[in-house]
Structure 1
Amino acid sequence: MDLTSRAAAFAAVAHGKINQRRKYTDEPYIVHPWRVARTVRQAGARDEVVAAAWLHDVVEDTPVTLVEIEAEFGPDVAALVEMVTDVSRPEDGNRKARKALDRAHLARASAEGQTIKLADLIDNTETIVEHAPGFARVYLPEKRELLRVLTAGDATLHRRAAALAERGMELLQSPVP
C-alpha cells in the first residue's frame, strides 16, 4: 500500500475506534480528513503532505500519539501533523487565550503545514456556516485572525478560505427572510 493509502486507512481506524462523528452533520468523522486530503492533493502537494492531511486530527482527537505517527509514517509526516495539532489545553485559559496559543503555533508552521490547515479551514467553515450559525459567529472572527498568520500556505487555498470566511460573515449579517 502506498503512503497516502496507508495514512487514509490508519486515520479511518483511529477515528473509527472511538466511533467519532462530525459535529453538526453526524457523518462518520473520516469524511472530514478525506475532504482535507483531497483539497491538499488538488493543490499539488506531495504524498507526505497528503498523508499528513489524512492524519491531521488523529493526535488531537484520538489516543494516537505523534510518536506512533512517526513510527508508522516517518519524521516528515509526523512533523507536519505536529504543525497542525493544537497545542493549547483547557488549563491555558479561556477560549481567546487558547486560540492565541494555537495561532502562534500555526504561524511557525511550514508552507506545507499551513496548506493543510487552510484545507482544514475550508472544510470546517463550509460545515459550520451551513449547520451552526450560532457558533459561526464565534468561529468566523477566529478564522479571520488565523488567516492573517497562514500566509506561507498555498495562495489559492488561502484566497478560498478567506472568501468563505467573508461570505459566511455576510450570510450571518443578512436578515432572515
Structure 2
Amino acid sequence: MTFATEAHGGIGQVRKYTGEPYINHPIEVMDIVRTASHYTDLMLAAALLHDTIEDTAVTRDDIEREFGSDVADMVMELTDQCTEGNRAKRKAAEAVRLSTISEEAQTVKLADLISNSVSIIEHDPRFAKIYLQEKARILEVMTDGDPGLYARAIAQLGAARKLVGLD
C-alpha cells in the first residue's frame, strides 16, 4: 500500500471526478477483491498496484524488484497493452487481450470495473454510455474470474444501462 500510495501521490494523481487521492481507487479495488470467494495475497497486492505502471513512472522491473515476479506478472496482465488506434479500436483490442489473462487477474479486473463504474456513472452520465458499452464487451469475453464478482458486474451493468438511458 505504501508503494502504490507513493507512486500515485508522488505525481499528485487524484481521482478524475472527485479530486480525492488516487490511492482510494486501488484500495477500493482491493476491498472488492476481498469479497471474492478465493482471493489470494497476490491478488490483493496486484489490486493495489494495478494502475502504477499505466499511470506513473513505475516499471514492471520496479514491481518485480519490490514484490517479486508473480506480482509483477499479474500487474502486467492488468495493465492496458493496446495503445494503437482510436479509443474504440484500443478498447476492442484490450477486450480480446483481457479474455486471455489468468482467472486471478480477471477477478482483479472485475473489481476494477465495478469500482470505476460507480464513479463514472455518478459523475459523467454522458461518458458512461461509452464506458458501459466497453464494459459490456469486456464482460462478454472475460468470464473466468470470480463468479460472484462477475454476477455483480453484470448486475451493475444492467442497472447502469437503464440509469443512463441505454435500455
TM class, shorter-chain normalised? over 0.9
Percent of aligned positions that are identical = 50
Aligned residues: 165
Q: Deviations over 1:48-99 (max 9, x none)?
A: 110000000000000100111111111111111011100022xx11111101
For structure 1, which runs of at least 5 residues remain unmatched after alignment? 1-7
In 2, Cα distance between equivalents of 1:72 and 1:101 = 30
For structure 2, which runs of at least 5 residues remain unmatched after alignment? none
How far the C-alpha of 1:41 sits from its partner, in A, is: 1.7
Indicate which of 100, 104, 119 corresponds to 1:112: 104
Q: Which amino acid aligns with 2:147?
A: A
In 2, Cα distance between equivalents of 1:109 and 1:129 = 26
Kindly report structure 1 stretches of 4+ aligned residues shifted beyond 6 Å: none
Alignment of 1:22-171 (within 5 A): 22-43=15-36, 44-89=38-83, 92-171=84-163
How far the C-alpha of 1:123 sits from its partner, in A, is: 0.4
Q: TM-score, normalised by structure 1?
A: 0.91
In 1, Cα distance between equivalents of 2:96 and 2:90 = 10
How far the C-alpha of 1:100 sits from its partner, in A, is: 1.6
In 2, Cα distance between equivalents of 1:161 and 1:55 = 21
Instruction: Give the secondary-structure state (helix, strand or coil) at the position aligned to 2:82.
Output: coil
Cα RMSD over matched residues?
Answer: 1.0
Q: Which amino acid aligns with 1:50?
A: L
Indicate which of 4, 7, 14 corresponds to 2:7: 14
In 2, Cα distance between equivalents of 1:98 and 1:106 = 12
Indicate the residue corresponding to 1:5 in structure 2. none
Greater helix percent: which structure?
1
Instruction: Give the secondary-structure state (helix, strand or coil) at the position aligned to 1:42.
Output: coil
In 2, Cα distance between equivalents of 1:54 and 1:153 = 18
How far the C-alpha of 1:173 sits from its partner, in A, is: 1.3
In 1, Cα distance between equivalents of 2:165 and 2:32 = 28
Q: Deviations over 1:105-143 (max 9, x none)?
A: 211110000000000000000111111101101100110
